[in-house]
């Protein structure tokens, strides 16, 4: 199978063209996309490297899913509706079984979110997957990190630490119980909170997705907003499977510092909380208030009212 047969077989899918604004998709030198009047184009790219972002034992279906999911999560964090993606794939060799899994994981999630794969690049080298995502927001309506104000509530979606726990458990082989399987599933198949991001546009003052862990990510949001924050660590939402597989201190550290959950961190003025809670309920998603933004310029962590210094740090490639 050569490069072009590979692209044809695994990545060309007939797009419901006009409906998706695809004037020209895979097959030319570049894609041509129609941005409707009154919308801003929102762009992001994320790369997954074998051995860095996933294990060699990670199923290829998961790699395909995650490569798109982490980008969809960036759209969610911006309150953008994802529309188009491009895929730069570097493969050590053509492995049909691997490509079957990878492409089915990718296309399944793309279909779920109505995203069209409109181009890419295929090269030989160490296994690396880059996806670029393009989405739309009504003009001026993107959710940013910098809109938080003192007094806004700090809200997270879902539960934290599961994917980090799953990654740790996956290192010691296939899951032996339901809780382990659940946590590994959270690492392998993260759910980007796209619909929540869209709903948050009307309620949140600022947003980001937690990809590198709360301890590392919250300061980025606070800095961008020019505010401080207080977090009550005992409020962090920790799932039953995480509690089952890890002791309380370890579960707390995973919830604080592990990335890969791709939950949203939202700043919500108190008067908007109920509205956002109602949207989350419709999406079958829990929201948890973990603290609030403050006028001081530091992050304060407390555990049942006592000062707490996290002994863990967020993920940093060159840290």
Tell me: does residue 306 bind ligand ADP (CB under 6 A): no
Nearer to Mg ion, 31 or 115 (CB): 31
Kindly tell me which of 31 and 255 has the beta carbon lying closer to Mg ion: 31
Per rule CB under 5 A, is residue 28 in the interface with Mg ion? no
Mask 104-123, x = binds ligand ADP (CB under 6 A)? -------------x-xxxx-
Q: Which is nearer to ligand ADP, 131 or 265 (CB)?
A: 131
Q: Minimum distance between the CB of residue 25 and ligand ADP, rounded to whole angstroms?
A: 8
Is residue 28 involved in binding ligand ADP (CB under 6 A)? yes
Kindly indicate which of the ranges 25-33, 142-150, 200-208, 287-295 contains the residues binding ligand ADP, using the contact rule CB under 6 A.
25-33
What does 222 bind: Mg ion, ligand ADP, none (CB cut-off 5 to 8 Å by kind)?
none
- Selection from ligand ADP, Mg ion, none that 27 binds (CB < 5 to 8 A by kind) is ligand ADP
Q: Which one of residues 7, 153, 200, 222 is an interface residue with ligand ADP (CB under 6 A)?
A: 7
Cβ–Cβ < 8 Å for 84, 22: yes
Q: Residue 68 or 163: which CB sits closer to ligand ADP?
A: 68
Tell which one of 2, 18, 29, 306 touches Mg ion (CB under 5 A). 29
Q: Which of these ranges, 21-29, 56-64, 198-206, 232-240, lies near Mg ion under the rule CB under 5 A?
A: 21-29
Provide the binding-site residues for Mg ion, judged by CB under 5 A: 29
Provide the binding-site residues for ligand ADP, judged by CB under 6 A: 7, 11, 26-29, 87, 89, 117, 119-122
């Amino acid at each position: 199978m050569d490069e072009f047969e590979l692209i044809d077989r695994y990545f060309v899918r007939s797009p419901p063209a006009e409906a998706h604004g695809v004037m020209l998709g895979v097959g030319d030198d570049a894609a041509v996309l129609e941005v409707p009047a009154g919308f801003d184009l929102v762009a992001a790219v994320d790369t997954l490297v074998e051995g860095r972002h996933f294990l060699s034992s990670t199923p290829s279906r998961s790699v395909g899913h995650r490569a798109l999911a982490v980008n969809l999560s960036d759209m969610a964090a911006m309150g953008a509706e994802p529309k188009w993606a491009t895929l730069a794939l570097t493969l050590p060799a053509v492995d049909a079984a691997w490509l079957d899994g990878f492409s089915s994981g990718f296309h399944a999630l793309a279909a779920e979110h109505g995203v069209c794969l409109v181009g890419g690049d295929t090269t030989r080298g160490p296994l690396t997957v880059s996806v670029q995502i393009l989405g739309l927001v009504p003009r001026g309506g993107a959710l940013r990190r910098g809109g938080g104000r003192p007094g806004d509530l700090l809200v997270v979606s879902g539960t934290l630490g599961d994917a980090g726990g799953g990654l740790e458990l996956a290192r010691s082989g296939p899951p032996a119980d339901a809780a382990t399987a659940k946590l590994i599933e959270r690492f392998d198949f993260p759910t980007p909170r796209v619909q929540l991001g869209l709903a948050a546009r009307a309620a949140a003052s600022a947003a980001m997705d937690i990809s590198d862990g709360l301890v590392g990510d919250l300061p980025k949001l606070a800095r961008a907003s020019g505010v401080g924050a207080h977090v009550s660590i005992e409020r962090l939402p920790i799932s039953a499977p995480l509690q089952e597989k890890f002791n309380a201190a370890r579960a707390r550290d995973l919830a604080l510092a592990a990335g890969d959950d791709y939950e949203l961190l939202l700043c919500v003025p108190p008067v908007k909380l109920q509205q956002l809670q109602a949207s989350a309920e419709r999406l079958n998603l829990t929201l948890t208030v973990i603290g609030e933004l403050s006028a001081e310029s530091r992050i304060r962590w407390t555990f049942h009212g006592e000062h707490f210094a996290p002994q863990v740090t967020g993920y940093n490639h060159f840290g």
